[in-house]
């Protein structure tokens, strides 16, 4: 069983920055693909960014490209989401998710992830 704990959320003004962290338990973290999803009030959860097991490949939703950066430190069992130039529409609960090794999965498909964190609130004021 893998436990994921997000941190780093908070209240920030539009144009500001936040860095989210997701700490994972267990020894197999370096084999997992990881991703960040978010869910705004009244909306469905959506994929934000993904990263493969080694960190060599990253993926982003169009809405965050050029503003958000996903990264990971396998030595620390941690994945990060650096969020810059934040907008009010980025307000949401942000979740990290872990995907055990498999073939042919798409990073943005929620059902392909095996473990989820409890979420951290990000609020961007205008």
Cβ(122)–Cβ(94) below 8 Å: yes
Q: So what's the pLDDT on residue 26?
A: 86
How many Cα atoms within 13 Å fall on the side-chain side of residue 62? 0
Instruction: Check whether 110 has a pLDDT greater than 90.
Output: yes
Cβ(45)–Cβ(107) below 8 Å: no
pLDDT-derived band at 40, boundaries 50, 70, 90? very high
pLDDT digits over 45-87, tens only?
Answer: 999 999 999 999 999 999 999 999 999 999 999 999 999 999 9
Instruction: Check whether 93 has a pLDDT greater than 90.
Output: yes
Name the 3-class secondary structure at 45. Answer: coil
Task: Write out the two tokens for 4.
Answer: 């994921």
CA Rg value for the chain? 14
Give me the residues paired with residue 115 across strands.
Answer: 98
pLDDT digits over 16-36, tens only?
Answer: 999 999 999 988 999 999 999
What CA–CA distance (Å, rounded) separates 76 from 61? 26
Q: So what's the pLDDT on residue 27?
A: 87
pLDDT-derived band at 103, boundaries 50, 70, 90? confident
């Amino acid at each position: 069983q893998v436990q994921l704990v997000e941190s780093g959320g908070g209240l920030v003004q539009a144009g500001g920055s936040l860095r989210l962290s997701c700490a994972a338990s267990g020894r197999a973290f370096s084999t997992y693909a990881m991703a960040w999803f978010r869910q705004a009030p009244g909306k469905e959860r959506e994929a934000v960014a993904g990263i493969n097991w080694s960190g060599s490949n990253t993926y982003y939703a169009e809405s965050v490209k050029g503003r958000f950066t996903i990264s990971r430190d396998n030595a620390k069992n941690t994945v990060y989401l650096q969020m810059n130039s934040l907008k009010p529409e980025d307000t949401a609960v942000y979740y990290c998710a872990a995907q055990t090794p498999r073939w042919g999965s798409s990073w943005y498909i929620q059902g392909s992830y095996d473990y989820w964190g409890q979420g951290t609130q990000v609020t961007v004021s205008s």
